[in-house]
Amino acid sequence: MGPIERILIGLALVAAWLALQQATRRFRLPPPPWRLPLVAVILWCLLNGTARPAGLQWLGALDELATAYALVALLAWLSLECPEALRWWQPTAKILRDLLTLGLSALATVVVLQSQANLNLVGLVTTSAVLTAVIGLAAQESLKDLFAGIELQLDPPFREGDWISVGEESGTVESLHLMSTRLRCRDGSTVNLPNNTVADNPMRRFSRHKPVGNHFEIALGYEIPPARARQLLVRVMQDNPLVLNDPPPEVLISAYEDSQIRYELQAAQRGPSDGDRLRLRSELLEQIWYAVERQGWEFPYPVRELKRRQLQRDPAHPTGVDASLTAELLRRSWLFAQLDPEQVDRLATSVRCLRFGSGETIVAEGEEGDALFQVVDGEVEVFKADGSPLGRSVAVLGRDQIFGEMTVCTGEPRTATVRSRGECVLLEVEREDFMPLVEDDAGLLEALAAIVGQRRSELEKLSSPDAARRQTSILERMRQLFGIQVD
């Protein structure tokens, strides 16, 4: 056969492979192997039928080996991958497919080298005790990894996508190969662990489809009653939308130490990777700091300190807001700007100034409440429940804006969830703060009802009769809440 005929046959084989590839795409089958068949066609076109110099007769084994390897690859694709894609039988473990391919390739190598190059590998290995010993010692670790890989495939302790920790290495399983397991680490790098190392060492595993426990500790002082401390820590975790309700978050007392009580916190989340767990842990620790500060508590100092350090608070700290400026801050809002200035001055002495960290839940939809809030610095975001963990964002409130006024005036549950966007400072005005003012001047309720009713009517675009009825309804409800009897 001449070179032109071989080239034409090679082109025909390439065209047949392209047609096969199009057919597999149409029927959604795995793509056929192309590298080994392409190499086999090229070597066959170049070497088959050509005259070889004396002593180089073994070159004829090259195209024979390439053809044998290509046939093995096509056979594995046709007999294993395609039936699995068509769901004719259960998928075969990848390592078993690799072993079958390796065994057939080794058999083809022995046959081709013996027929084309007169090289008897089987006789050479079996008749040379020294060579057998050398090969056995050299392949000792590789054989351990090979058999460990078979064990991991036949009785898999993990799946691709699971997060595992083996020794000092941890990451998400990307793939399990013949000799090693590949992990994707938190920093984006990949680590190849020998299968023998994976099989012989203790392993921690988290499945990506199941809840993952996030465990960490925190210490609070003895002046805080443990029951109240546990209640606060549980509430912070429950308010975080990334913490699952099933299983519920849990707080346990771990130990009484020299100057502090240590608590163990356990929260369940989705996402088993190191990054997911560290991000949630960092977020919870940040929110706990703000929650402890709002309660007026402090984190404990070691008993060995003879003199407590005087820490200078940052200017954004709530106590840094001068009490004389609180009334001025209140008057910037649409609610308090229309009240009598003297009443606002009296009210300002009872108002609390609170600071929240990023992503904290300030009020939750459906819960009872008796306080309204005014934004002093930063922003808050309003969410309505829609079945998702965070809910649907409906508004963003900035400086001097107020939320929660309907709860104070009517006692109705919260109609939305409000969370902080970044660090923010709020003024909290409770229903009880209005009581001294109402006792001195019952007309304050009418003024508040008129302001709140007009505001709600504008937001809801009510007609004048509906707006009047809304204002009357608010006033009647406020009189009931504040215990005001009308003669």
Phi, psi of 485 (to 5 degrees): -95, 135
Mean pLDDT of 265-273: 87
What is the predicted pLDDT for the residue at 364? 93
pLDDT surpasses 80 at 9: no
Most confident region among 320-329, 412-421, 455-464 by mean pLDDT: 412-421
Tokens of 462: 């009510």
- Place 10 in a pLDDT band, splitting at 50, 70 and 90: low
In total, the chain counts a number of residues equal to 487
Mean pLDDT of 278-300: 92
- Place 40 in a pLDDT band, splitting at 50, 70 and 90: confident
pLDDT surpasses 60 at 319: no
Q: How many whole angstroms separate alpha carbon 109 and alpha carbon 101?
A: 12
What are the beta bridge partners of residue 373? 403, 428
366 against 482, higher pLDDT: 366
pLDDT-wise least confident of 105-119, 138-152, 188-202, 303-317 = 303-317
302 against 270, higher pLDDT: 270
Mean pLDDT of 85-106: 70
| Average of per-residue pLDDT values in the chain | 80
- The per-residue pLDDT for range 404-439, each reduced to its tens digit, is 998 988 888 999 999 999 899 999 999 999 988 888
pLDDT surpasses 90 at 243: yes
What are the beta bridge partners of residue 214? 267
* pTM greater than the 0.85 cutoff: no
Mean pLDDT of 318-338: 79
The sign one gets for the Cα dihedral 278, 279, 281, 282 is positive
What are the beta bridge partners of residue 170? 165
Tokens of 380: 């808050």
pLDDT surpasses 60 at 315: no
Instruction: Give buried/exposed letters for 117-135 (b at 16+ CB in 10 A, else e).
Output: beeeeeeeeeeeeeeeeee
